[in-house]
Amino acid sequence: MTIYRRRISAVFLSFFAAVLCHAADTPAKPAPDVLIFTDGEKLIGQLISATDTGLVFVSAIGFQVQAPWTSVKELHSEKRFAAIPKNIVYRKPGDEKLVPLGSIELADKALNVSDAPAAAPKSVPLDNVYRLLQEGDFRKGMEKAGVFQNWTGNATIGIAYQSATVNNRAVNSSVTLTRNDPAQDWRTLRNRTGISFSSAYSVTTISGSGDLKTSLYHLDVAQDHFFKSRLFGFADATLDHNTGQGVDLVQAYGAGMGVTVVKTARTLFEVRSEMSFMDQNYVDPRMNRKLIGSRFLQSYTYTFKNGISFREGGGVRPAWNDQRYIYSAGGATVIIPVYKRIGVNVVAMDNFVNNTPRPLKKNIFQLSVGASYTFK
């Protein structure tokens, strides 16, 4: 019995020794962050992130505070943050070393970033701080994304059906995708890929007569490369099919320059100009042409505070070796969010072909209402 008790005591001693060793090896949990306002109010909790205008802080009891820097007197955090300065270009591996990383303390309108307890802190003036990110988010943001990652955009569909003396069935759809490389807004944008597809198909049947079919589709693929924050070069390819205007297939390939005129958190306005080659094929093969021309485009997007988005764009494509062949298109889309990523959309499109076969009209206008899904 004595031997049995000794063995049990030895087991318990070994267990407690292992627990103590594990506790000694486990790093101490960082103390909560402390936020002190200029009026003396003090909050204890967790700093989430910050921009050049203010910070996001969650208190210990769970409520979130968004405060401007002008109302903050002191800030202390033992957690590791990246204090991203303004006007730094991140283009090659190793550029992340330009960013101070460590625990932070706000004093005298400057962020002191300490990489190690014994190391001298790096001071970043508060008016030079562009973004404050937790270390994990910063590291992830510096990783190179795969070609199938970071796509955003939306897909829409609208359906109409009529049954009477005149029967009509119509389907309108569109998909717009954009990929920024890198995707983080605090990094320098290098490349951007855009894919836009829209289609419209309708069948009208008059009792005692045949079917009248209309088929339109448009595909636009563009690759942008930014030389400066607002100046970029691009190459693109466009396909158009439009039976309503006698166009069997228009292929266009071009390259040019673009300028970002306005860029804010809610607004983006850009203009583009390019030289292009066009291969235009009509239902009447006698009208087929291979053309050299230009393309002038503009695009505008705006997102309202309530999540409603407005997108508008259009362009004209004149041909220089045969000025009768002018092609232009434009459209506008309003997306109203309803539930999570699902919304209601209103789409207006207009196509103009100057040299259509008779008796087809030169202009086609479409207006549709449908459902949308947003990719994020």
213, 201, 195, 193: which is closest to 173 by C-alpha?
201
Question: Judging by DSSP bridges, how do beta strands 289-303 and 267-282 pair with one another?
Answer: antiparallel
Write phi, then psi, for 66 (nearest 5 degrees): -115, 115
pLDDT band at 4 (very low <50, low <70, confident <90, very high): very low
What is the residue-averaged pLDDT of the chain?
86
- Domain 151-375 carries which CATH code? 2.40.160.40
d(CA 208, CA 145): 58
Quote the percentage of the chain above a pLDDT of 90.
Answer: 49
More confident residue, 69 or 98: 69
Q: What is the pLDDT of residue 265?
A: 84
Whether the pLDDT of residue 13 is over 60: the answer is no
Residue 115 carries which DSSP code?
S
Distances (CA, A) of 39 to 76, 109, 110: 17, 16, 19
Concatenating the DSSP letter of every residue in 25-82 gives HSPPPPPPEEEEETTS-EEEEEEEEEESSEEEEEETTS-EEEEEGGGEEEEEEEEEEE
Query: Which two three-digit tokens encode residue 308?
Result: 């409603």
Whether the pLDDT of residue 226 is over 70: the answer is yes
Query: Residue 49 half-sphere exposure, CB side, CA atoms within 13 Å?
Result: 11
Domain boundaries, given as residue ranges, for the chain: 33-142, 151-375
Whether the pLDDT of residue 209 is over 90: the answer is no
Concatenating the DSSP letter of every residue in 294-350 gives EEEEEEEEEE-TTS-EEEEEEEEEEBSS-TT-EEEEEEEEEEEEEETTEEEEEEEEE
Q: What is the pLDDT of residue 29?
A: 66
Return the H-helix or E-strand segment holding 93. Answer: none
Whether the pLDDT of residue 185 is over 90: the answer is no
Report pTM: 0.79
Q: What is the pLDDT of residue 154?
A: 92
CA–chain centroid gap for 238, Å, is 22
Write the single-letter amino acid at 159.
I
Identify any residues that bridge with 59 across adjacent strands, giving them in sequence order.
45
Whether the pLDDT of residue 25 is over 70: the answer is no
Return the H-helix or E-strand segment holding 191. Answer: strand 191-206
pLDDT band at 80 (very low <50, low <70, confident <90, very high): very high
Whether the pLDDT of residue 10 is over 60: the answer is no
215, 209, 157, 191: which is closest to 369 by C-alpha?
157
Query: Residue 91 half-sphere exposure, CB side, CA atoms within 13 Å?
Result: 10
Whether the pLDDT of residue 355 is over 50: the answer is yes
Whether the pLDDT of residue 11 is over 50: the answer is no
> Residues 121-170: pLDDT tens digits?
888 898 888 999 999 998 888 888 888 899 999 999 988 887 777 788 88
Whether the pLDDT of residue 252 is over 90: the answer is yes
Q: What is the pLDDT of residue 90?
A: 67
Write phi, then psi, for 20 (nearest 5 degrees): -65, -40
